[in-house]
Amino acid sequence: MNKRIAAVLLSAVVCMGSLTACGMGGEVSSAVSGTESGSASSALTPKAESEVADSLDGLAEFMLTNGYVSGEKAEMKGDFIGAKETGYKYLFSAAGGTSNVRVELYEYDPENLNDTAKAVLESVKANGSFDLIGQTVTGAYISNSGKYLMIYVDTSLNDGAAENIELRDKAVKAFQEFKA
């Protein structure tokens, strides 16, 4: 009887692990993974900052075509953090598929910030994080223009994966310098 229970529990754990990995979705970009995956992202032509608009769509296009994010963008509600109505989220794998990355991009109107926006941006400037519905959101960055917020979360960074730390650092630098 104990062997059956153990087998069922083991099967459940394996199944949940599979579902969690699939939940990160998105294709792996060769620029992100360092491998030739043949994904649509690897066929994109990198765009210079001057070739895209100073908007959330322009930022998303810049980050995607230069390999800092990969996969399909999903719309996110931005008003919860005082940003403009819509933000974008990318879920993809990096380091040859050994880590899962979530990048969220939001746009603010620096001349017209509400109290929520002010609190979020001040917290990010001070701590690189902010509180949302009782949870601390880490890995947050503000562009040098003060117009954009990026949340960059990589499951392997705590393991000290040098390749992913380098990717994150390049993405943060490009993001912060965007239209500054």
Domains observed in the chain: 26-177 (3.40.1000)
Q: Are 87 and 56 in contact (CB under 8 A)?
A: yes
Contacts of 155 (CB under 8 A, 6+ apart): 99, 100, 101
Q: pTM of the full predicted structure?
A: 0.75
- Average pLDDT value for the chain: 79
Length of the chain equals 180
* Extended strands (E) in the chain: 73-77, 86-94, 99-107, 130-132, 135-137, 140-142, 148-154
169 pLDDT band (50/70/90 cuts)?
A: very high
pLDDT in tens, 38-67: 333 456 788 999 999 999 999 999 999 999
Contact indicator for 161, 167 with CB cutoff of 8 Å: no
Helix H or strand E encompassing 134: none
